[in-house]
Amino acid sequence: MESSGTTARRRAAHLKILLLHGDADPEVPYETSIWYAEFLRTSGFSVDFRTFNGLQHFWTYREMDYVKQWLRPRIAVPRITIKY
């Protein structure tokens, strides 16, 4: 019988995680996300870590466009055009 940790790692192997962070974030240190991404990878998750140069502690349309492009092949979403 496998341990619960082994079971969790096996189940996590197929999960994809998108982690975004601005390198100018004054609220959450950028290094925290680097550490967290590595922690998730060593725990068996597939992590796409993306740095947004100059981005502080907020989101932008550029970042949301990246999220949309990342999600599109992973989930069934009807094509919607959003005008900014």
Q: Are the CB atoms for 54 and 23 separated by under 8 Å? A: yes
The rounded distance, in Å, linking the Cα atoms of 8 and 22 is: 30
Rounded Cα distance, 24 and 7, in Å: 37
pLDDT in tens, 34-78: 999 999 998 888 999 999 999 999 888 988 999 999 998 888 766
Residue 58: predicted pLDDT: 87
In this predicted structure, what is the pLDDT of residue 27? Answer: 95
Helix (H) or strand (E) run with residue 79 in it: none
At 82 the pLDDT is 73
CA atoms within 13 A on the CB side of 15: 13
